[in-house]
Amino acid sequence: MRMSDETSASAEDKTIYQRESLEDEVMDEVLAAYGEAVEEERRQTTEETTSGDTP
């Protein structure tokens, strides 16, 4: 009976590891997209500021 308990625990650990890995991957993608959006907003703000300075 102990053998199946260890197998269950191992399968559960593997599932948890896979879920955490997927969460990390998704978070990396979210942070990358956020960084790109912030950079684009910064560029647009800089362009607006620069174009407003020319007479």
pLDDT one-digit tens code per residue, 6-22: 778 899 999 999 999 99
Q: How would DSSP label each residue in 4-50?
A: HHHHHHHHHHHHHHHHHHHHHHHHHHHHHHHHHHHHHHHHHHHHHHH
Q: What is the pLDDT of residue 13?
A: 94
Q: Is residue 12 part of a domain?
A: yes
pTM of the model: 0.63
Structural domain containing residue 27: 1-47
* C-alpha span between 17 and 1 (Å, rounded): 25
Considering its fold, how many domains does the chain have in total?
1
Q: Is residue 9 part of a domain?
A: yes
Q: Is residue 3 part of a domain?
A: yes
Q: What pLDDT band is residue 5 in, cutting at 50, 70 and 90?
A: low
* C-alpha span between 29 and 37 (Å, rounded): 12
